[in-house]
Amino acid sequence: MKKTKQAIEKPVKRMTQRELSRHQREQRQQRILLVVGAVVLVSVLGILLFGYWREAIHKGSEPIVKVNGQPVSVTTYAKVLGFQQYMLDQQIEYFQRIAGRAQSTSSAGKEDPNEKLLAQYAQQQVQFLGQQRARLEGDTVEQLIDDELSRQEATKRGLTVTAEEVDAEIAREYASSQAEQGTPITNTTQATPTPTATPSASMANEQLRKSLSSIGILSEQEFRRWIIEPKLWREKLEKVMEEEVPRSGEQVRASEIVTETEEQAKQALERALRGEDFATLATELSKDATTKAKGGDLGWLPRGVEAKEIDEALFSLKPGEIYPKVVSSYGQFYVLKVEERAENREISAEHLSQLKSTALSRWLQSQKPPEGKSIEYFLSWEKTKWARDYIAKHLKAR
């Protein structure tokens, strides 16, 4: 047995100094390679994680706009935009079904004049809503700005929006959707009939949660914060601003000649400046049926009832003066004259109503560039793409 063990065991050969040195060098090289590999791996992972953080998290937290220093994040923009897209798509699909049903009835030889009119109306709505859909990315930015401006101004004036008021608004939306036979509660953009009874807040909130869950882009809290609350802020602020509209103010009695082309307007202006009677020219040349018969007379006008371009031109003139340039507004061309001017005249009921209904929109416009300095835009192609990708990933219903 001893012999066998000796036969099996082999003496360990000792390394020479040269071999030991080479072995130690190889081990050091292996350790260096492992360290370098680990550093490279950590660096790559760091780059990937940073890229993910920047694109998936940080990009979403960046502002798309600031309103008086208050940022509106790209994520907020993406969520509201996705929701608005969904709502418009639902309406477009609804009117497409109506148009298709009417066309099917006509094709089956059962043509009904009422169905034909309904189909035409539905097709017009599809076209109109499609145009809205195409502008929605830019319009949503402006909507978020208006919402934040309204919230800030309403808060400054001591106005509040309570959770109970939000619940009541949601309940009204739910009642309206029931009256419209199944239209989702989240369809806040459609005109709604007055409900006969308001459901309980719990019932409305449950329906809201189901609807939002099926859509997938907004949580209940976000829906309340970004859809319902802004609506209530604006309604309250609008009422306050309506009461602040003055009952009298500076006015001009003006006349106009309206043409379809700039060349026609230039020719009319030249004739008026040469001394031809303005009223006669308006009767002969104006395309506005309402004022044409009155020699172009617009009556007394306070600031704010006409388009901005027309307003600025008229209130720069003295009595008897004709504005020396053609004014373009809403696709038409104007030659303008001021007949009289009053520094403080009572505003007519018609114009007062118009000024009240546009008080909030005019104030909002005054807060935006170039007049206002409270808005900072941070729009970019990268942020728009991020928002589109976010919507594609999170919007469940299509």
Confidence class of residue 193 from pLDDT cuts 50, 70 and 90? very low
Q: Residue 254 and residue 310: Cα distance in Å, rounded? A: 11
Give the CA diameter of the chain. 140
Q: pLDDT by residue (tens digit) across 268-304?
A: 999 999 999 999 999 999 999 999 999 999 999 999 9
Confidence class of residue 53 from pLDDT cuts 50, 70 and 90? very low
For residue 370, the model assigns a pLDDT of 83
- The single-letter code of the amino acid at 151 is R
Q: pLDDT by residue (tens digit) across 216-252?
A: 999 999 999 999 999 999 999 999 999 999 999 999 9
Residue 10: CB atoms within 10 Å: 7
Q: Residue 398 and residue 396: Cα distance in Å, rounded? A: 7
Instruction: Return the minimum-mean-pLDDT range out of 129-133, 185-189, 190-194.
Output: 190-194
- The single-letter code of the amino acid at 83 is F
Higher pLDDT, 6 or 250: 250
Asked if 172 contacts 199 with a C-beta cutoff of 8 angstroms, the reply is no
Q: Residue 391 and residue 383: Cα distance in Å, rounded? A: 12
- The single-letter code of the amino acid at 59 is K
Asked if 93 contacts 85 with a C-beta cutoff of 8 angstroms, the reply is no
Confidence class of residue 115 from pLDDT cuts 50, 70 and 90? confident
Burial tier of 29 (Cβ tally within 10 Å: 0-12, 13-18, 19+): exposed
What are the start-end ranges of the H helices in the chain? 2-8, 17-52, 59-61, 74-107, 113-156, 163-179, 201-215, 220-223, 229-244, 262-273, 278-285, 289-292, 308-314, 349-357, 359-366, 381-394
Q: Residue 290 and residue 279: Cα distance in Å, rounded? A: 13
Q: What are the Cα distances from residue 356, in Å, to 18, 57, 163, 243, 346? A: 99, 43, 28, 8, 15
For residue 183, the model assigns a pLDDT of 47
**What's the CA dihedral at 335, 340, 341, 344 to 10 degrees?**
-130
Q: pLDDT by residue (tens digit) across 145-190?
A: 999 999 999 999 999 999 999 999 998 887 776 665 444 445 544 4
Confidence class of residue 263 from pLDDT cuts 50, 70 and 90? very high
pLDDT of 3 above 60: no
Q: Residue 244 and residue 240: Cα distance in Å, rounded? A: 7
Confidence class of residue 23 from pLDDT cuts 50, 70 and 90? low
Task: Report, as an integer, the average pLDDT of 74-81.
Answer: 96
Task: Report, as an integer, the average pLDDT of 298-324.
Answer: 96
Q: pLDDT by residue (tens digit) across 331-340?
A: 999 999 999 9
Q: What is the distance of C-alpha 352 from the center of its chain?
A: 28
What are the start-end ranges of the H helices in 328-398? 349-357, 359-366, 381-394
Is the overall model pTM greater than 0.85, yes or no? Answer: no
Question: How open is the CA angle 83-87-88, to the nearest 5 degrees?
Answer: 120
Question: How open is the CA angle 124-128-129, to the nearest 5 degrees?
Answer: 115
Confidence class of residue 113 from pLDDT cuts 50, 70 and 90? confident
Higher pLDDT, 232 or 39: 232
